[in-house]
Amino acid sequence: MELDDCCNETKACLDNGNKNPYPDDGPEREVSSQECGAYVRSQLASMCARHTLARRLPITQWLPRYTWSLFLHDLMAGLTVGMTAIPQGIAYAVVAGLAPQYGLYSGFMGSFVYVFFGSTKDITVGPTAIMALMTQSYVLNFGPDFAVLLTFLSGCIIAVLGLLQLGFVVDFISMPVTVGFTSAAAITIASSQLKGLFGLKGRSDKFLDSIINFFEHIREVKGWDSALGVSTIVALLLMQRLSVLRVKGNPPGQTISKFRRIFGNTMWMVSLARNAIVVFFGVGLAYVLYINGHEPFSLTGKIEEGFPPFGLPPFNTVFKNQTYNFVEMTSALGSSLIAIPLISILESIAIAKAFSKGKAVDATQEMIALGLGNMAGSFVRSMPVTGSFTRTAVNNASGVRTPAGGIFTGLLVMGALGLLTSTFYFIPKATLSGLIMTAMFFMIDYHVVSLLWRTKRIDLIPLGATFLCCLLIGLEYGMIVGIAVNLLILLYHSARPPVDMKWVVVNGCNVLLVTPAQSLAFPSAEYVREVIVADCNQHRDESQQSAVVIDGANLFNIDSTVAKVVKLLSEDLKMLEVPIFLWRWPQQVTYTLLGIDPKMKPFFRNGPTLDLILTALENRVRHESEVLTEEDTGASVMKANGSQHIP
Amino acid sequence: MELDDCCNETKACLDNGNKNPYPDDGPEREVSSQECGAYVRSQLASMCARHTLARRLPITQWLPRYTWSLFLHDLMAGLTVGMTAIPQGIAYAVVAGLAPQYGLYSGFMGSFVYVFFGSTKDITVGPTAIMALMTQSYVLNFGPDFAVLLTFLSGCIIAVLGLLQLGFVVDFISMPVTVGFTSAAAITIASSQLKGLFGLKGRSDKFLDSIINFFEHIREVKGWDSALGVSTIVALLLMQRLSVLRVKGNPPGQTISKFRRIFGNTMWMVSLARNAIVVFFGVGLAYVLYINGHEPFSLTGKIEEGFPPFGLPPFNTVFKNQTYNFVEMTSALGSSLIAIPLISILESIAIAKAFSKGKAVDATQEMIALGLGNMAGSFVRSMPVTGSFTRTAVNNASGVRTPAGGIFTGLLVMGALGLLTSTFYFIPKATLSGLIMTAMFFMIDYHVVSLLWRTKRIDLIPLGATFLCCLLIGLEYGMIVGIAVNLLILLYHSARPPVDMKWVVVNGCNVLLVTPAQSLAFPSAEYVREVIVADCNQHRDESQQSAVVIDGANLFNIDSTVAKVVKLLSEDLKMLEVPIFLWRWPQQVTYTLLGIDPKMKPFFRNGPTLDLILTALENRVRHESEVLTEEDTGASVMKANGSQHIP
């Protein structure tokens, strides 16, 4: 927009015949073209500066136009999201193996930073189940300081990737890999909550461990915990269904009573706040029973109260009497420093695109916002955060208007930290486990499997590989295996491209018409040469003249390997006394081929139809075969060898 | 051929109206269709058996037709190759850090095995410079037993890859990578011979070490060695030029005297045998001087005489008082067990194709022959062998007719082992170094660099990466880096495919016509979505009706990720009130897309021209935009954000 304005102004300046472009500068006067150029340059510089500022600090775009109406909408949406963010944060802190308050530590800084740097209004940055799961093993093995350092370093990496415009790497994570990964993560998380749901003991951070642990301790299942956990799940599922009662707009041919409308909206609010409701109910129940001298549930227990300490992220730490310096911590984090930033970017950009309503997403800006959010979060002991799909959806559905909604979410979370941490003692573990497991049910995508089975079976291979490796080996490895498998399939396609081959009779000459369906790259070069030579050997009728025509209409690009192999192919066919023609090859491809061997020039043909190409064939062939017979010595004995070879 | 015969016979049997197909079986009689079927099946089975035998043991094809004339040709060629194989074998053994006789140990078994299993007449299997260089570090660090075990294991791997039809993996080694690898190997080998050429001491197995070693010891250069080495190189280069004197055929308008012809052919033979000549001369000179009490040259020195011990390859060994068992040996060989088989296959298949004279190369059979040759060789202490380009060229030029030529080459090498090993004592090291360096000059391919610079600059990246890494880190790593870089370029192309985008006005409607130039795969999906959305945001004129048409004429295949992203794109564009049409999408691509979302059906169009597609646009659009306005809430404030983002 602004750049367009600038262009128009420039144009006007030049159109003006170098009239004075400064309208306030007295009456119209001639200006030198130099003066005009200086004006345009100064205008351009200020435009560019403003444009960059607007792009890199999007708050400068919407804040000046902020209104009370927008404020009210943002306030409502922000508080609604906060009602989800608090219980989810607590639950995901538990998934990460951290104390519950870490979920709230992680819940406000990301939101605040996003208000300034975020380029979409809906995204809500905070802890997510997958981030929590990927942090877990470090927390269990090395303590919470590792999670905080991981947040800081991930933030740096995300921001750097964003500034270097390297966000495109997530394009290499395909939909089947994402689905496999997400489903495996959901199952791993759900299984890790089995012990909480049934009041069992033991550590379980992997799928198989969790299942084995559950069955080993199945005799120790606690009735009260189980009852509370299962009722939490049932309550959450029921409350989720309530959202359908909301009445949106005016359905045609129906009058809706005011009561029906209010009831619907209330039920919808209950549905949105269902996580907070079950936690509130669980805490209340535990507290009432506690006051009356009962403690039937496993409770969260004593935790640190109030706000987190503000300070640098821990660059060295002591855990279980072992001291770790920065280098040791970083090398312990290892592959997570790649995996966590990648997954963060993937989640966040995917959500941004889903809610961008047709706008192009500024991936660079989103990555900068996310990176800074993590970096800032690590100063208040946050675990790694990213865009949360569920909370972003709540935000959008609650009618948020600008990123300012995040301020209110963050403030609500901080309020909970200031006032409520002492009540966290009473949160029953079974309630949190039930809450987490319910959320995980909706992350598993059964549907895609049957859909892929029907439409694109080969995509089940990367999905299955990702899913199984994530579940059995670990999330990072599973993702890497999945991407690798997917790229192998892609490379296989470029090594074995579709090549249409048919024999046609043109002007009494048998012509093998070869039409590659797409550009050829080096892995396919030898394959194409082999199938053509094999086909010529098998189907050529020696009593009749034959020719090979390669139709280059779909060739947009070839590399030097393909060019060289085409040259070798022409030599192969010369031995078979079959002339080759390169028909309709585009300019740049012709150029590449002639660069490798200028002697290929006579092979090119550009006529509109096949018969025109072959008009001069007869004479040319007779001449060629005379030359050939001399060189083609002693192939008779070996003739039968290899001729049956169809690659 | 044979299968064709069988088909004809089957056809005749059925055409015959079930007449008796056994002509020797008395007069014509009716046979049941069952009898006919049984006959055809038995014929087919025997055909198949014969066909498989002929393919897997090609000697069964040419031996029955062998003649005296063929024998004489093969004998001459075989002996000529032997004259090259003996000095080259000795030299390459030195490159590998082995005693010279190992070069001859490696020179006969591969040839013998190839006679039975080889499918081309020209290929000569034996030690090569690159195989020797890749074996070298194991010999220097762990002793010769490791080289022999490497031969055995490489042979097993090559044969298994052949039987599993996995030879296609070498398709992923492109021409630029091969050139970079070969040139770096040649330079590494040549630099490793500097010390031999100038009579210096010190160990040097890497390029930099060799150069540093040379300059550190430059004051110790020995005059006699240097003189002999340099004269060897000069003599070899001069003798190589002699081959142009050969007179082939009868040039028109010239009479060629018998003397000229004999002289030309003698000079050509001298040129072919030049390696043997310089070695013979060097030995003679050293011997004569030795007898007269002079020993001015560094000599090869004492070596084991006679034939190698025949026995199992060493599955455990002792070197420098350290015992290694099979597992330790195998793990020490490590990545070589992949690299050496791959390079062997690459060299051998490339040579087979170069000399196949238009026949399709049976890569599987070649790999079986090569694998068995290595396995058999390891029983006579061979180092890894593969097809040798120079000796195969000599074989071809000397007029070999069948693989039987290998017998005579092998016998000549064995003869040298039996009779001449005692004379190896006198081979001056400088002669061997000169011989090796001269051979390496011709392996460096300067030409390709300037050629790629002119025609396909991007291919210089994998070439340069391979060359530098091979030279500075090591051959295996260099090759891996080169392949990886090349695949990244390939993946980049599939992530950023050429997509033609232009705005056209059809029926008063602004149409963005998007034409992908090739099939789309998952890494490109989000990119295509982004450029289309960004273009719509930037160039759409809100006062006029716009539409996006994606022309699928070049789309042959899409995966589920692309299908899903097309669906998301249609949702993006719905928000922009721009309808999308999928024009001329092929059947199978349409099927994939409808599998992901059946609701995409109304978007497809198959009319021959654009205006036909858009005829019904107006009404449809008006209806759609009514539905849209309700959903498209609150995007006004955020409108400017991200719209300038062009990925």
- The tens digit of pLDDT for each residue in A329-339 reads 988 888 889 88
Phi and psi at residue A195, in whole multiples of 5°? -65, -40
Phi and psi at residue B44, in whole multiples of 5°? -60, -45
Residue in chain B closest to A519 (alpha carbons) equals B518
CA distance A302 to chain B (A): 44
Residue A568 confidence class, pLDDT cut points 50, 70, 90: confident
Residue A642 confidence class, pLDDT cut points 50, 70, 90: very low
B-chain residues near A252 (CB < 8 A): none
Distance CA A177, CA B461 (A): 30
CA neighbor of A386 nearest in space, from A136, A101, A108, A131: A131
pLDDT in tens, A548-566: 899 888 888 888 889 988 9
Distance CA B516, CA B500 (A): 6
Q: Across residues B317-342, what is the average pLDDT? A: 88
Report the mean per-residue pLDDT for chain A: 82
Does the structure show a pLDDT above 70 at B19? Answer: no
Q: Across residues B8-36, what is the average pLDDT? A: 53
- DSSP sequence for A587-639: HHHHHHHHHH-GGGGGGEE--SSHHHHTTTHHHHHHHHHHHHHHH--S-SGGG
pLDDT in tens, B526-548: 899 888 988 888 877 777 778 88
Residue B303 confidence class, pLDDT cut points 50, 70, 90: confident
DSSP A645: -
Which residues of B, range 574-633, sit inside 8 Å of A by Cβ? 574-576, 591-592, 594-596, 630, 632-633
Report the mean per-residue pLDDT for chain B: 82
Distance CA A357, CA A203 (A): 44
CA distance B49 to chain A (A): 14
Chain B contact present for A413, CB below 8 A: no
CA distances in angstroms from B458 to B17, B345, B444, B611, listed in the order given: 65, 26, 20, 40
CA neighbor of B231 nearest in space, from B390, B530, B438, B529: B438
Chain A contact present for B116, CB below 8 A: no
Does the structure show a pLDDT above 90 at A466? Answer: yes
Nearest to A494 among B356, B490, B560 (CB): B490
The whole-number pLDDT of residue A641 equals 32
Q: Which tokens in the block code for residue A454?
A: 């029907």
pLDDT in tens, A491-503: 888 888 888 888 8
Phi and psi at residue B637, in whole multiples of 5°? -65, -40
8 Å CB contact between A89 and A128: no
The whole-number pLDDT of residue A199 equals 85
Nearest to B456 among A361, A517, A559 (CB): A559
Place of tokens 């762990």: B142
CA distance B232 to chain A (A): 34
Catalogue the E-assigned strands of B524-575: 546-551
Identify which has the larger pLDDT, B407 or B604: B407
pLDDT in tens, A223-262: 899 999 999 999 999 998 888 887 776 666 677 788 888 8
Nearest to B554 among A458, A554, A595 (CB): A554
Does the structure show a pLDDT above 60 at B205? Answer: yes
8 Å CB contact between B306 and B421: yes
Which residues of B, range 452-471, sit inside 8 Å of A by Cβ? 452, 454-456, 458-459
A-chain residues near B357 (CB < 8 A): 572, 575, 632, 635
CA distance A417 to chain B (A): 32
Chain B contact present for A120, CB below 8 A: yes
Does the structure show a pLDDT above 50 at B168? Answer: yes
Nearest to B360 among A54, A534, A559 (CB): A534
B-chain residues near A361 (CB < 8 A): 530, 642, 645
pLDDT in tens, A415-426: 988 888 788 888
A-chain residues near B596 (CB < 8 A): 451, 455
Task: Give the best-scoring range by mean pLDDT among A235-239, A533-537, B496-500, B607-611.
Answer: A235-239
The whole-number pLDDT of residue A206 equals 81
A-chain residues near B359 (CB < 8 A): 533, 537, 575, 635, 638-639, 641-643
Distance CA B48, CA B7 (A): 12
- Please report how many Cα atoms fall inside a 13 Å half-sphere around the Cα of residue A162, on the Cβ side: 27
Contact: A554, B518; criterion CB under 8 Å: yes
Q: Which tokens in the block code for residue B571?
A: 């949702």
Please state which of the ranges A204-213, A320-329, B85-94, B135-144 shows the lowest mean pLDDT: A204-213
8 Å CB contact between B518 and A554: yes
Distance CA A219, CA A239 (A): 32
Question: Which ipTM did the prediction report?
Answer: 0.76
CA distances in angstroms from A382 to A86, A386, B370, listed in the order given: 14, 11, 60
Q: Across residues B181-203, what is the average pLDDT? A: 86
Distance CA A579, CA A548 (A): 6
A-chain residues near B356 (CB < 8 A): 572, 642
Residue in chain A closest to B643 (alpha carbons) equals A360
Residue B623 confidence class, pLDDT cut points 50, 70, 90: very low
CA distances in angstroms from A353 to A162, A235, A362, B533, B574, listed in the order given: 16, 32, 9, 11, 14
The secondary structure of chain A in percent helix, strand, coil, rounded to multiples of 5, reads 65, 5, 25
Distance CA A204, CA B503 (A): 58
Does the structure show a pLDDT above 50 at B325? Answer: yes
SS3 state of residue A582:
strand
Q: Which residues pair with A125 in a beta bridge?
A: A387
Q: Which tokens in the block code for residue B252?
A: 């028109």
What is the percent of chain A where pLDDT is above 90?
Answer: 22
Q: Across residues B613-627, what is the average pLDDT? A: 48
Contact: A517, B641; criterion CB under 8 Å: no
CA neighbor of A365 nearest in space, from A105, A59, A583, A55: A55
Residue A381 confidence class, pLDDT cut points 50, 70, 90: very high
Identify which has the larger pLDDT, A612 or B191: B191
Identify which has the larger pLDDT, B52 or A144: A144
Residue of B359, B512, B629, B630 to mutate, testing the A interface (most A Cβ within 10 Å of its Cβ): B359
8 Å CB contact between A596 and A557: no
Q: Which tokens in the block code for residue B408?
A: 């005579």
Identify which has the larger pLDDT, B108 or A169: B108
Chain A contact present for B537, CB below 8 A: yes
Distance CA A287, CA A424 (A): 11
The whole-number pLDDT of residue A645 equals 28
Contact: A1, B640; criterion CB under 8 Å: yes
Place of tokens 């969790």: A210
A-chain residues near B564 (CB < 8 A): 175
pLDDT in tens, B456-482: 889 999 999 999 998 998 888 888 899
Residue in chain B closest to A595 (alpha carbons) equals B455
Q: Across residues A255-279, what is the average pLDDT? A: 85
Chain A contact present for B64, CB below 8 A: no
8 Å CB contact between B226 and B198: yes
One-letter amino acid identity for B222?
Answer: K
Q: Which tokens in the block code for residue B51?
A: 């066909």
Chain B contact present for A65, CB below 8 A: yes
Nearest to A635 among B357, B490, B493 (CB): B357
Residue B386: exposure state from Cβ atoms within 10 A (0-12, 13-18, ≥19): buried
Does the structure show a pLDDT above 70 at A348? Answer: yes
